[in-house]
Structure 1
Amino acid sequence: MNKTKTITSLEELDKILKSETAVLLYFNTISCNVGESLEPKVKNLIDVNFPKINFYNIDLNFSPKIAAKYNAFVEPTILIFFDGKETIRKSRNISIYELHKTIDRLYQLIFE
């Protein structure tokens, strides 16, 4: 299981999106119980089923510029990028099953 990486600046995020094929951004705050309980489930889903997607955490309290640029004001929000383009966006009430189905379709197209 990979350690969760945290992004704190737009410059860092821009570099990641330019250099990595598949990126999941998990927007959350430590005060959001839903986000806190969902994060390990999403992380496990990615680690087990989609190992080529890199998981990054963004705390909305510490990275308001990133939240503003990507319109991620609701917690939790998940953005998935393939080849630097936002491809999947899920917010608030997120079903792991639905997320799995949505990612799987695109993941197969890109990596299989």
Structure 2
Amino acid sequence: MILFGSTNCGVCQTIKPQIETKFSDKFPDLVMVYIDCEQLQAVCAQHGVFSLPVVQVFFMGQKFIEEIQGFSLLALGQKIEQVFMKMKR
């Protein structure tokens, strides 16, 4: 899981610890990476990130989920759980 954010993005700074706490407990195999788009603009552009926050979730190198700006962490967790269930089959 990649969280694209910025130190000047209040929403980004609010959801970052929530994502780390909620999802690390529920999905211990899911690795979260935070990318500060102020410092790594080229990386953000390569991933098509031009507004914040953005969450992208990859499984086996393929992007399965992308949430942009106003999204629910509860819904995001449900989507991740659905993909995990499909992968286990």
Instruction: Tell me if both proteins adopt one fold, taking TM over 0.5 as the criterion.
Output: yes
Q: How does 1:27-106 map to 2 (within 5 A)?
A: 27-106=4-83
Q: Judging changes above 3 Å, is the alpha-carbon distance between structure 1 residues 96 and 102 closer, same or farther for their aligned structure 2 residues?
A: same
- The Cα of 1:30 is off from its aligned counterpart by 0.3
Matched, 1:109 2:86: yes
SS at match of 1:31: coil
Q: 2:66, 2:23 → 1: CA distance?
A: 15
Matched, 1:26 2:8: no
Consecutive unaligned residues in structure 1, runs of 5 or more: 1-23
Q: 1:79, 1:32 → 2: CA distance?
A: 17
Q: Which amino acid aligns with 1:70?
A: H
Equivalent position of 1:5 in the other structure? none
Equivalent position of 1:20 in the other structure? none
The TM-score normalised by the length of structure 2 is: 0.93
Consecutive unaligned residues in structure 2, runs of 5 or more: none
The TM-score normalised by the length of structure 1 is: 0.75
Percent identity of paired positions between Structure 1 and Structure 2: 20
C-alpha contact 1:26 1:76 (8 A) present in aligned 2: yes
Q: Show CA shifts across 1:27-86 (max 9, x none).
A: 000000011001111111221111111000000011111111111111110000001011
